[in-house]
Amino acid sequence: MANLKELSKNPEHLTGGHRLCAGCGAGIMARQAMIAVGNTPVVVTSATGCLEVSTTVFPYTAWKNSFFHSAFENSAATCSGIEAAYKSLKKQGKIKDDIRFIAFGGDGGTYDIGLQSLSGAMERGHRMLYICYNNEAYMNTGIQRSGATPRGATTTTAPDGKAKHGKEQSRKDLTAIIAAHNIPYVAQSYIGNWNDFITKVQKALAVDGPTFINVFTPCRLGWNYNPEETMNLARLAIETCIWSSYEIENGVYKINVKPKEKKPVTEFLKLQGRFKHLFKPENAGVIEEIQKEVDRNWEFLNKRAAENNQA
């Protein structure tokens, strides 16, 4: 596990003074990830999104390390290209440093428009860490639904109304899709537990190959909650099993954080304006469907982890 005393000595790669919202989960996520890097030279690429537009407002930057802004759909492709160039230059003796590579993308630029780019980079085997900061919608462009948006959430393109109750489909299981690429390390984490997330970043950066971490990252604007509730919501997602913290290391599943007492999904839903409509009497069935889906997914994950422990 990450050592807090040692982490306190690490440099800050992401400075204050950026323009992310108060209570923004993406800023917390990025700072924790970069603290995990320590003194190792690192190149960061970032797709267009909340994290990029708010930390690199020309002519300023909040990044102290090398940073490359790419288009919405190709953070992974850009990072893999830089990594390939680095390998060539190091082989030629033109670079001596041992450099690491991190690509950031929101769920819109990862689950949807950037999936082909991410899949290609993982399949080719580049030594890079891709981190998806998952705030469950296209927050930077107007809070449109994405493949990561959960059932029942209201967005500008899947609104609650007379005909529908928000998004009707379940979210995509991107972590399982990336795991199917048979890469060395895949994980899910959340910003409400710095030790869990930072430890996973450190493990991923130590792997000689492609790695992926899907981070649950609340968005106070798109989810419609008070800024001070960000960390509490991240932890509630784990306690209700709406989100799970686990890792798949060389094909072996391990659940990292289990709730002491599994809470009903309503404890998570009721704090957010995007789910407010679900508490109308006529939408009670939707909450029941969400609870059943969460229970099935949690049972399936525990079964996979148990199978690995028995092997």
Least confident of 8-12, 107-111, 166-170, 208-212: 8-12
**Residue 203 in contact with residue 272, Cβ under 8 Å?**
no
Q: How far apart are CA 230 and CA 121, in angstroms?
A: 32
The count of C-alpha atoms lying within 13 angstroms of the C-alpha of 302, restricted to the half-sphere facing its C-beta, is: 10
- Neighbouring CB atoms inside 10 A of 229's CB total 16
> Does residue 4 carry a pLDDT above 90?
no
pLDDT at 8: 85
Q: What rounded mean pLDDT belongs to the chain?
A: 95
- The domain ranges of the chain are 4-310
At residue 187, the 3 state secondary structure works out as: strand
pLDDT tens readout for residues 20-61 = 999 999 999 999 999 999 999 999 999 999 999 999 998 999
Q: Which two tokens stand for residue 128?
A: 């890079």
**Local confidence band at 311 (pLDDT 50, 70, 90 cut-offs):** very low
CA-closest candidate to residue 222, choices 16, 50, 46: 50
- For the packed helices 230-239 and 25-37, what is the interaxial angle rounded to 10 degrees? 80
- Pairing type for strands 185-190 and 245-249 reads antiparallel
CATH of domain 4-310: 3.40.50.970
Please give the share of the chain, as a percent, with pLDDT higher than 90.
91
What mean pLDDT comes out for the span 165-191?
97
Using alpha carbons, list the distances in angstroms from residue 77 to 42, 152, 187.
17, 33, 20
What's the gap between Cα 179 and its chain centre?
A: 15
Q: Give me the percent of the chain exceeding a pLDDT of 70.
A: 99
Distance of CA 98 to the CA centre of its chain: 26
How far, CA to CA in Å, does 243 sit from each of 124, 192, 202, 235, 301? 29, 12, 21, 9, 11
Report how far residue 280's alpha carbon sits from residue 224's, in angstroms, rounded to the nearest whole number. 18
Continuous H helices in the chain: 4-7, 25-37, 50-55, 75-91, 115-124, 174-179, 194-206, 220-223, 230-239, 266-269, 284-310
Render pLDDT for 119-158 as a digit per residue (tens, 0 to 9): 999 999 999 999 999 999 999 999 999 999 999 999 999 9
pTM for the model stands at: 0.96
Q: What is the pLDDT of residues 68-94, one digit of tens each?
A: 999 989 999 999 999 999 999 999 999
Reported as type and span, the H/E element at residue 262 is none
Scan for tokens 């939408």, then name that residue: 283
Side chain identity, residue 106: G
Question: Do the Cβ atoms of 293 and 151 come closer than 8 Å?
Answer: yes
How many Å apart are CA 211 and CA 182, to the nearest integer? Answer: 10
Phi, psi (deg, nearest 5) at residue 96: -105, -30
